[in-house]
Each structure stands twice: as C-alpha cells, then as structure tokens.
Amino acid sequence: MAVLAIRTLGDPVLRTPAEPVASFDADLRRLVSGMFETMEAAPGVGLAAPQVGVPRRLFVFDSGEERGAVANPVFAWRSEDTQEGEEGCLSLPGLYFPVVRASSVRIEGVDAYGVPVALEGGDLLARIFQHESDHLDGVLFVDRLGPEHRREAMRLLRDVELGLAAPPAVRGRAL
C-alpha cells in the first residue's frame, strides 16, 4: 500500500469521534500497513486512522523502542503524575507547543487480528497513546494548550491560512 494523504486542520474527519473497528479482515490489515508507511514517511511517532481520513478507532505508533497497532483502545489506568512536554501533530504541520499529559498510562485494546493487547508506557510512549487516543475522540493537541499558547497557535494557523506567514518548519517527532 502506498503512503496515504494526511488530513490537516479544517478537515471535518479530524473533529469527528471515530467508530469502533468491527471487522478484523484483510482490508483492515492493508489500512494498518498503509498507516505504518505513512507514519514512517512523514516521519512521525504515531498516527491515528482519522488522520488518513478513516473515522475508525485505530492508531499505529513507533516510539523508537516500541512499535505497534492498536484498535479500540481504552485507558485501563493513567498515573496521577503528569509531565509537560513539547508536542507536534502531523495534522498541524510545524506547530509545536508544550502539553501536560499523564506520565504513564496503560491501554487495552486489540491488534489488527482482533487479539486482545495491553500496553504500558511512560514518557514518550504515554504521550503518544494519549495524543492518538485524543484523535479518536476528535480532539487535537491545540485543544489542550494553556490559553496563551492556544492563542499563539491559533494566530499562527490563521496567518498561514491567510498567506501572511510561511508554514513553520517541521522539526519531526510529530504524532
């Protein structure tokens, strides 16, 4: 499968809560392999199905240490401990702002064959799981910024849209 087109802000699919994955068939595995290719080409560390125009509860990730695909994920546990870290999103190219997330999480879901999986992660992995799960609910990382950063992000997005500013450079490590 070829690299898929990544949807960007303004595309309604990014704001639509995704439906659970119901069929674990060859089409799903083709989609998963296309999402891996797209994430690698971007390059990114995570990619959710709505970002390639498919409103299903599914994401792929590659933290450098762990890599996988999860469908229908739910949080089984989140630490009370939080961590602020810079985040970017493949659907908001070039925007990077600090976001507060739980430091560690445990998610449960199924793999591309419908087999139950449980994944635990801290730091970057925990951030990826939370960022991608947000995508499945139609939430973008700019929704989670403090008021000042949110204003700055909106101003930047508007200026790019109006042609008043060049799109900011992509620095990688987006999700």
What amino acid positions are annotated as catalytic residues? Answer: 132
- Nearest residue to 140 via CA among 97, 81, 76: 97
175 binds Zn ion (CB under 5 A): yes
Nearer to Zn ion, 28 or 89 (CB): 89
User: Under 8 Å CB-to-CB from 146, ≥6 apart: which residues?
Assistant: none
Residue nearest to Zn ion (CB): 89
- End-to-end CA, the chain: 20
How near is the Cβ of 95 to Zn ion at its closest, in Å? 10
Q: How many residues bind Zn ion (CB under 5 A)?
A: 2
DSSP-derived secondary structure letter, 142: G
18 binds Zn ion (CB under 5 A): no
Q: Are 55 and 22 in contact (CB under 8 A)?
A: no
Nearer to Zn ion, 114 or 170 (CB): 170
DSSP letters spanning 28-79:
HHHHHHHHHHHHHHTTBSEEEGGGGT--BSEEEEE-SS-EEEEEEEEEEEE-
Stretch that binds Zn ion, among 63-71, 86-94, 107-115, 159-167 (CB under 5 A): 86-94
How near is the Cβ of 128 to Zn ion at its closest, in Å? 10
89 binds Zn ion (CB under 5 A): yes
Residues that bind Zn ion (CB under 5 A): 89, 175
